[in-house]
Amino acid sequence: MHEPSRTACDPESARRVLAFEARHLDEARAAVGQMYYPHRLAQLTTDSDLAMSLRTVRLGPLTLGRLSYGAEVSLDFGELENAYHVSIPLSGRVETESGGETNVFTPERACIYLPHRATRITRWSADGIQYGIKFDRDYLEAELRAILGRPPRTPVTFDPVLDLSRREGASWLALVRTLTADLDEDAGLLYNPLMSRPLVQALTTGLLLAANHDHRELLVAPTPAPARPRTIKLALDAMHAHPEEPWTVSGLAELVGVSVRTLQDGFARFVGVSPVTYLRDLRLERSHQDLIQADPRHDAVADVAYRWGFRHAGRFSAEYRRRYGQSPSQTLTTT
């Protein structure tokens, strides 16, 4: 079996864009599985030879790529679990099944796949080329939480179709095209973290504003949320500034000048979770982002966990798996 042709993969170089080419199903499956999701891949016809081409770049919590197969194929992903995914056809036709629905996608209709619904592409036409955007689930949900000012119901349930011919969809597509402009370069300026970080945030927020989902009404016409008391804001600010500190509820209450009961009641009313839960989730988010960006040759899970205030490795691993559906070491070695 031949390895897929891969360029721009030297870890010591400045290259950020990875390129894969494959002419065999197992090679194509391995390349797409490495950069996106494990899946089953089948060729549906024999009138053309498989010629998979993938150019992709990882930008922290987002993976962006352009993919084609050169032959008619089907892909079965199962549940994505830890990601939301948007596929944008540039040419050709894609037929899908997800959550009991069937849809057809063409260049004016993007498809949104959800983490909690099994997804199958029943037919990807031989002339099909797509942009594929994988959003880290925790990152997207954290962005929504920041906009709403309170924890959203998760997972976010998007409509499967994003109409790119309408104003909101077209504006979001223009931002996608900005980020994909350097996919044919080894390392464009856009993919420097100083440039890509705000663009990734804008693309994520833009998707939440452009697509239909079960929180859209709150974003389009938000109702004023009760103003958080100064004491709650001070406690949140302290945890965000130093989540690695061994905060206790009594310590936070003393810091902001209220009783433990008052602080707990305030968090329940204005934040939606207890101080302990909020701090744990904040530490998990910071750990998750560090593991995504870490180098497994030089970084260890235990070091990341300790950096963000987790003193018990087994408890950290259990909480992490419960939150992200995989172990910390899996995140470290597959990103």
Query: Per-residue pLDDT tens for 179-221?
Result: 999 999 877 788 888 888 889 999 999 999 999 999 888 887 6
225 in a domain, yes or no? no
Q: How far apart are CA 223 and CA 67, in angstroms?
A: 41
Residues in Cβ contact with 241 at an 8 Å cutoff, skipping those fewer than 6 apart: none
Domain final position from 220, 243, 268? 220
Show the domain range for 321.
Answer: 230-334
180 in a domain, yes or no? yes
Q: How far apart are CA 105 and CA 84, in angstroms?
A: 17
Query: Per-residue pLDDT tens for 1-20?
Result: 344 444 333 333 346 899 99
Query: Per-residue pLDDT tens for 20-66?
Result: 999 999 999 999 999 999 999 999 988 889 999 999 999 989 999 99
Is residue 227 scored above 80 in pLDDT?
Answer: no
Domain final position from 220, 243, 271? 220
Same structural domain, 184 and 277: no
pLDDT band at residue 333 under the 50/70/90 scheme: confident
Q: Count the domains in the chain.
A: 2
Same structural domain, 163 and 252: no
Same structural domain, 268 and 211: no
CATH number where 162 lies: 2.60.120.10
Same structural domain, 180 and 313: no
> What is the strand order of the sheet 52-59 is part of?
5-7, 18-22, 52-59, 62-68, 129-136, 83-91, 109-113, 161-163
10 in a domain, yes or no? no
> What is the strand order of the sheet 94-98 is part of?
40-43, 73-78, 119-124, 94-98, 101-105
- pLDDT for res 2: 41
Same structural domain, 91 and 215: yes
Query: Per-residue pLDDT tens for 98-155?
Result: 888 899 999 999 999 999 999 999 999 999 999 999 999 988 988 888 788 777 777 8
Q: How far apart are CA 244 and CA 306, in angstroms?
A: 8
Same structural domain, 266 and 170: no
CATH number where 305 lies: 1.10.10.60
Length of the chain: 335
Percentage, residues of the chain above pLDDT 70: 93
Domain final position from 220, 245, 275? 220
| DSSP element (H, E) containing 136 | strand 129-136
Across the range 235-260, mean pLDDT stands at: 94
Residues in Cβ contact with 233 at an 8 Å cutoff, skipping those fewer than 6 apart: none
